[in-house]
Amino acid sequence: MPFKEAPKQQTKNRLPSASVNQQEGSQLDISQFQPPPLQFWAGGALSPVLQRNATPSTVAYQGFDQISALTLSDFKAYCRRQADWQSAPSFTDDQRTLLREILMLVNEDVETILGTTRVSEIVTQLDAEGVRGELADERATAIRDYCSAASSTELPFKITHSASTLSNLIIVGRAISMLKEAFPVYVLRSALKEPEFNLLRSQNYLQAVIDYYQNAEQRPIFQATNGSDFESYIYLRQSGEKPARLRWHQPEGEGQKLPPL
């Protein structure tokens, strides 16, 4: 008896052969049969990766004129939000450097006192006629010292924020800087009060009291916590009295002279 050929088994999920829907001489596009890429979830389970086409976003940098119109607080907020703000292609090197210096100037005390001040006002003070240098450094220090004294930090001593313009603020701040350079901070903190500070400025005794403290034959002591030691010095000057003789370095070949008071 002849044997019958066994029926062929159907294979499930079998890929179509190259002849399926294919014309003679053409190539088969098998991309539709490729499984999606896989990634491992926690625990070893596999999950298909969802692929997205990212559209590059355009960075909206602020230019120099735009930043100049911001307040100092808004400028700081912009720099926090736009970490690479210095990469703005419209900046010149000088503009980038100046804005960086202003950002470094604006510490917590400065922002407390001058947070609503426009960046353009600071630019005018630190970049007068496009030239920066020692004068700009002095003004920046004066701004910082004034704001430190007028804010809750109260160093080197407490003052009331009363400057009507940024120029006046810098004048008062420069007086504070001069005293900080001459006196230990702890002396100013404990012995100098705002009324005496204002009198030293208004009577033009600021440099005189510095010379007295630094050059007297015996170092004067300013320690009264109610400001009376500075008050006594001011009273002596107003009364025409001369404070203790200064230590004077006599130039060679000149007669005996006393320093001006």
Short-list 226, 224, 229, CA closest to 200: 229
Measured CA to CA, the distance from residue 176 to residue 47 in angstroms comes to: 68
Between residues 128 and 155, the one the model is more confident about: 155
Decide which of 40 and 179 is more confident.
179
Indicate whether 38 pLDDT > 80: no
Euclidean distance between CA atoms 252 and 211, whole angstroms: 22
Q: What is the pTM of this model?
A: 0.71
Which of these, 38, 1, 33, lies nearest to 17 by C-alpha position? 33
Q: What is the spatial distance between Cα 86 and Cα 63, in angstroms, rounded to a whole number?
A: 10
Q: Which of 6-20, 123-137, 138-152 is the most confident on average?
A: 138-152
Domain boundaries, the chain: 183-246
Higher pLDDT, 218 or 126: 126
Residue percentage of the chain with pLDDT more than 90: 59
State residue 170's pLDDT score.
Answer: 97
pLDDT digits over 56-109, tens only?
A: 556 689 999 999 999 999 999 999 999 999 999 999 999 999 999 999 999 999
- Going by the DSSP 8-state scheme, the letter that residue 3 receives in this structure is P
Question: pLDDT averaged over the chain?
Answer: 82
pLDDT of residue 5: 56
What pLDDT score does 241 carry? 78
Q: What is the pLDDT of residue 57?
A: 58
Per-residue pLDDT, 109: 98
CB atoms inside a 10 Å sphere around CB 175: 19
Average pLDDT over residues 241-258: 57
